[in-house]
A and B are shown apart, each in its own frame.
Chain A
């Protein structure tokens, strides 16, 4: 099955700096790669996603890049703010016809933005 590795596990940045989180996946058939943000005491919330027919996607201060050949994708947050502090999860969908909404998640990155 699919295996997703996520690095780093913790990341501390100064407010205004950029943050980059990287993930690798094992199943070349995976075609959907979302990123979720989980704040304390809440469930994960989708912040951006990318499908395998696109190499990059941007939404304001957040961008995701995908390299299908190398089987890795990254989350980029620019101009970080204290409210960006949370745990971020990458995920991949196996991409077969029966994948439905089954996601394989990375281990998570705890991002701390220091004011």
Chain B
């Protein structure tokens, strides 16, 4: 079974630009979560999608957005990039359908550098 696939793995952008990151969950998983990982703030929850609906959202500005498609693939977008957005963006999928939390399967991440 293929794992969680994130693209691109690495990218460099300049301040003010926008970026779109893609995540393909494990086949059959309908929940996709996004986390931001930085040395200073650690792992922080961005948002979670389940069946194309945003189920939860973390404490990030509106520049961070996401969506999920009918095949469970997800994208996140960051507009008007700032230097502080440089981070590893991790996507995780889960098979749990209900409100109960379960094992998250993480991808290897997309490393974004903002210059």
Contacts and interface: CB of A to CB of B under 8 A. Distances in A.
Contact of B45 (A44, A104, A108): A104
Given A89-B43, A102-B101, A44 B90 contact: yes
A15 B55 CA distance: 43
Given A43-B107, A44-B43, A89-B43, A99 B99 contact: yes
A34 B103 contact: yes
Contact of A100 (B44, B48, B59, B90): B48
Contact of B106 (A44, A93, A102, A104): A44
Contacts of A49: 103
Interface residues of B, number: 29
Contact of B33 (A46, A89, A102): A102
Given A101-B48, A102-B48, A102-B56, A43 B103 contact: no
Interface string A102-115: 11111110000000
Interface in B39-82: 42-45, 48, 50, 55-56, 58-59
Contact of A105 (B43, B100, B101, B109): B43
Contacts of A104: 45
Given A100-B55, A102-B56, A108-B43, 18 more contacts: A1-B59, A36-B106, A43-B90, A43-B92, A43-B106, A46-B103, A46-B105, A99-B99, A100-B48, A100-B50, A100-B101, A101-B48, A101-B92, A101-B94, A102-B33, A102-B45, A105-B35, A105-B44
